[in-house]
Amino acid sequence: MVCQSFYAAAKFAVRAISEGSRKESDKVRCTCTYPGVVTSELANTISDPTARERMISYRKMAIEPDAIGRAIQYAAEQPGEVDVNELVARPLAAQV
């Protein structure tokens, strides 16, 4: 996949910044959210027919965006002394 290295680097940078923020202050709560495949319009924007078909096929097991929203809401609603550091939400059918 084109630009995969940039995507991975950006994701790692966000994690590093989040962890640094946690260590700099005991008043900062920070949750890194790692969603699995989620329903979106992404496949409709892919111009390469082969890549588009692969994305459509891959997204057949996608979960709805609302599931990610509820998971984030769970983290946000925790008491002030609780920090949910990482949140992974993926379709049950996804292979790890």
Active site positions, annotated: 7
Q: Do the Cβ atoms of 46 and 56 come closer than 8 Å?
A: no
Strand-pairing partners, residue 88, are 34
CB burial class (10 A; 0-12, 13-18, 19+) of residue 92?
exposed
